[in-house]
Structure 1
Amino acid sequence: MNIPVTEPASDFVPAYDRAALLAYLAEHGIDQTTYDHPAVFRVEEGLDLKADMPGAHTKNLFLKDKKGRIWLISAKQDTVIDLKRAHKVMGSDRLSFGNETLLWECLGVRPGSVTALGLINDPDQRVTFVLDRALWEADIVNFHPLVNTATTGLRQSDFRRFLETLKRSPFVVDFETLERVTV
């Protein structure tokens, strides 16, 4: 399924694109492996591509609650996320998907490219980052590097170092039990 990508109405220009993100990782000694591939817009579309890439693959949900708070949930691709119940453990109001303009302004990515690595474009920390426990415990995690034509794999220690460089602490949730996890 190809989702048409339109230019966002905002004139915002993100500080980081794919090249700048990968340069940032290198400058901070964060090891990564990036695989180029055809564009994928949904988890199901990339299953054959991911089969040869080690580690946990992700799905990422960009959300907004009724009070206007912005959320990014990153979870293993097969994790079931019940948004009608998850908001309670997250401490949010009812959740809905954020629009394309808000996504662009907060993470500097387009639909189909939502990624935890987009937090690099959120220096004001408008987005609350929620991480699936299964992903927090995975040895290797895979995210789009701000575009959906590649996947970047990071060892867990490197992913955590990336978050530390951004001064970000994830809100870890076990989506299976819908409980917050202390990390």
Structure 2
Amino acid sequence: MDASSAFQDTLPISSDALLQRLDDWELSYRLHTHIPLRTVEDAKGVEEQFLVPGENSLRLKNLYLRDKKKRNYLVTLEQSREIDLKALGTELGIGNLSFGSAERLFQSLGIRPGAVSPLAMINGVQNDVRFFMDATAQTTDIIYMHPLVNDRTVAMTRDDLMAFFDRIGCAVTWLP
């Protein structure tokens, strides 16, 4: 199975169900559909279709990581930011980090590789996943991310994304 909406009914929470919750909670978003995106490079190839010129926006890359004690982390960064996992682990005081497997990603965040997103914390909070987000998100207006599948992108205001985190009980640790 891939990470597209064709297989969303195999997820603990489908993309459609997530979008319905956003609607129920009166959190606004713009929904864009596109080819499945698996990498930042893939995303850069289609983002011109939906970016609004002059908009103060943030496009993301997301890393599902684990430490030696088998604790799980979702790290969300500006898509072009370089990251050194060893330095990040030291900075966060959690030791060495490595990428989690596809199986653990599904168990912890309820998504498949290619669809990693801050919105997956709707599952992650129940599975003790710690969430770290690039501090640039604090000063941006619109944040683009996948709604649990990789052939859709939502654009949400920073305030609505923070309200989403509040609704699901997700603590955000900001990365400088």
TM-score normalised to structure 1 length:
0.85
- For residues 71 and 122 of structure 1, the distance between their equivalents in structure 2, rounded to whole angstroms, comes to 9
Offset of 1:59 from its aligned partner?
Answer: 0.2
Question: Quick one: which amino acid aligns to residue 147 of structure 2?
Answer: P
Q: Equivalent residues in 2 for 1:124-135 (5 A)?
A: 124-135=126-137
Q: Equivalent residues in 2 for 1:4-83 (5 A)?
A: 5=2, 14-51=11-48, 52-54=50-52, 55-83=57-85
- For residues 31 and 93 of structure 2, the distance between their equivalents in structure 1, rounded to whole angstroms, comes to 34
Offset of 1:14 from its aligned partner?
Answer: 4.4
Name structure 2 gaps, 5 residues minimum: 4-9
Corresponding residue number in structure 2 for 1:151: 153
Identity among equivalent positions (%) equals: 30
The root-mean-square deviation of aligned C-alpha atoms, in Å, is 1.6
- For residues 102 and 40 of structure 2, the distance between their equivalents in structure 1, rounded to whole angstroms, comes to 18
Offset of 1:136 from its aligned partner?
Answer: 2.8
TM-score normalised to structure 2 length:
0.88
CA contact (8 A) 2:125 2:169 kept: no
Offset of 1:161 from its aligned partner?
Answer: 0.2
Q: Equivalent residues in 2 for 1:91-110 (5 A)?
A: 91-110=93-112
Offset of 1:135 from its aligned partner?
Answer: 2.2
Offset of 1:93 from its aligned partner?
Answer: 1.7
Name structure 1 gaps, 5 residues minimum: 7-12, 175-183
- For residues 14 and 37 of structure 2, the distance between their equivalents in structure 1, rounded to whole angstroms, comes to 18
Offset of 1:134 from its aligned partner?
Answer: 1.2
Cα offsets for 1:25-72 (capped at 9, x unmatched): 011111011100000100011213112324211000000011111000
Offset of 1:138 from its aligned partner?
Answer: 1.4
Q: Counting helix residues as a fraction of each chain, which structure ranks higher?
A: 2
Give the SS at the match of 2:149.
coil
- For residues 150 and 45 of structure 2, the distance between their equivalents in structure 1, rounded to whole angstroms, comes to 15
Offset of 1:122 from its aligned partner?
Answer: 2.5
Give the SS at the match of 2:147.
coil
CA contact (8 A) 2:38 2:115 kept: yes
